[in-house]
Amino acid sequence: MSSIEELITGTAVGIKASDGVVLAAEKRVAYGFTMFSRSGKKVFKVNDNIGIASIGILADMQVLTKIAKAYMSLYALDTKTRPSIRSAAKLLSYVLFANRVLPYFVEVLVGGVDDEGPHLFIMDSLGSLIEDDYAAVGTGTKLAIAILESNYKPSMTVKEARELAIKAINQSISRDPVSGDGIDILTITGNGSAEETIPLQPLRL
């Protein structure tokens, strides 16, 4: 059986800005050092104010996203209000912990904007939950987090956070053999969300 390290590959980052949240991930799908696809999607929109970025087994990411979408939609229909980012993060945390014996092989970032402002949460495959201003998960974490720590400012805008996320992912792609092939980005503000895909860019230090 493959080790967890061989299954939870790739790089994703999340950044909380003054006016929103940016989630980004590279597109390579690999198990161990075997590449299966150059067009994997690891950033998902849950609703207009909540998003998920994840690394690991693609099927597990997709299942967790479907669970989040279903429960957040039910919450909105029942209460006539949009769910908080914390409620979405706690839901996924419970799901991950409940399946700890046969775990989802993922690491997850949940971010978005609610009535309290922007929020970013980080989870491991067992559901441990931490809120932070910025984060990186996956095999390229050490490379990406160095860029985030050197350049992050709490006052930065979503536009600035987007550029920083691209720089951090590019840094991980440059050295991590199981990260690469482009970047998916989800930008969330109080006015809604926007998704985009950009091609692989040369590293700019």
DSSP output for 92-160: HHHHHHHT-SS---EEEEEEEEETTEEEEEEE-TT--EEE-SEEEEETTHHHHHHHHHHH--TT--HHH
**d(C-alpha 81, C-alpha 103), whole Å:** 32
144-180: b or e for each residue (b if 16 or more CB lie within 10 Å)?
Answer: bbebbeebbeeebebebbbebbbbbbbbbbeebebbb
Burial zone of 63 (CB within 10 Å; 0-12 exposed, 13-18 middle, 19+ buried):
middle
Is residue 29 within a helix (H) or strand (E), and if so which, with residue range? strand 29-31
* 29: its two tokens: 């799908």
In whole angstroms, how large is the CA radius of gyration of the chain? 16
Tell me which residue of 86, 12, 90, 83 sits closest to 49, measured CA to CA: 83
Among 11, 65, 141, 187, the active-site one is: 11
Query: Amino acid letter at 144?
Result: A
- Concerning whether 189 is annotated as a catalytic residue, the answer is no
Active site residues: 11
